[in-house]
């Protein structure tokens, strides 16, 4: 991921990036699980991604996006729409493997979208935030993070998916 602009020196961005890293690892594991026909495991790992995304998305949508929406309305709008699309497919695994036989393929397509989404944030949104946001805005984002927490403690440092 990007490390050239210095945005990772901001604690809020560094935490969002660590969450992205855990999500990418988990998404890769889902790819392996689906390829091996381990759909129960893929559903479990999908639920882990949902848990990782819950606070992550709150920080972005309550903190970063409002601060950048005036300057980048189209970009922020696309990111919000992608959040809804990704959440919808991942949520299908809330109670196990969905009965829809197209779910594994849709899940893999959604994880591809998620990876592209992460790149848009890390290569576009985060560097823009570094330049555009003032101290009070960063303070507000930090307050949101404090309120919503992080799901990273759910993840073992060497594995981003549950041991099953």
Domain assignment of residue 92, yes or no: yes
For range 150-158, the mean pLDDT = 66
Confidence of residue 143 (pLDDT cuts 50, 70, 90): very high
116 contacts 23 by C-beta, under 8 angstroms: no
DSSP 90-129: HHTTTTSS-S-TTHHHHHHHHHHHHHHHHHHIIIIIHHHH
Longest dimension (CA), the chain: 49
Domain assignment of residue 52, yes or no: yes
Domain assignment of residue 50, yes or no: yes
Domain assignment of residue 1, yes or no: no
Q: What is the CATH number of the domain that holds 115?
A: 1.20.120.520
Domain assignment of residue 122, yes or no: yes
Domain assignment of residue 157, yes or no: no
Q: The dihedral of CA 13, 15, 21, 22: what is its sign? A: negative
Q: Residue 5 has what pLDDT?
A: 54
| Rounded Cα gap, residues 49 and 56, in angstroms | 10
Residue range of the domain that includes 48 = 12-151
What digits encode the pLDDT tens for the residues 40-97? 999 999 999 999 999 999 999 999 999 999 999 999 999 999 999 999 999 999 999 9
Confidence of residue 147 (pLDDT cuts 50, 70, 90): very high
Instruction: Identify the DSSP state of 69.
Output: T
**Domain total of the chain:** 1
Q: Residue 1 has what pLDDT?
A: 43
Domain assignment of residue 159, yes or no: no
The 3-state DSSP class for residue 81 equals helix
Residue 6, Ramachandran bin (φ over 0: left; ψ between -120 and 50: alpha; else beta): left
Give the residue, 2 or 114, on which the prediction is more confident. 114
132 contacts 141 by C-beta, under 8 angstroms: no
Domain assignment of residue 6, yes or no: no
């Amino acid at each position: 991921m990007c490390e050239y602009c210095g945005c990772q020196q901001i604690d809020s961005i560094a935490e969002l990036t660590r969450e992205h890293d855990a999500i990418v690892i988990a998404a890769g594991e889902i790819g392996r699980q689906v390829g091996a026909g381990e759909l129960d495991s893929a559903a479990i790992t999908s639920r882990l991604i949902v848990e990782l995304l819950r606070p992550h998305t709150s920080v972005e949508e309550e903190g970063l996006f409002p601060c950048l929406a005036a300057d980048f309305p189209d970009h922020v709008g696309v990111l919000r729409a992608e959040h809804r699309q990704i959440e919808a497919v991942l949520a299908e695994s809330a109670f196990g493997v969905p009965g829809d036989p197209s779910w594994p393929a849709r899940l893999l397509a959604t994880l591809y979208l998620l990876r592209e989404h992460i790149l848009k944030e890390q290569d576009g949104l985060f560097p823009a935030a570094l330049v555009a946001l003032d101290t009070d805005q960063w303070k507000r984002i930090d307050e949101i993070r404090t309120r919503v927490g992080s799901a990273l403690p759910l993840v073992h440092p060497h594995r981003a998916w549950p041991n099953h």
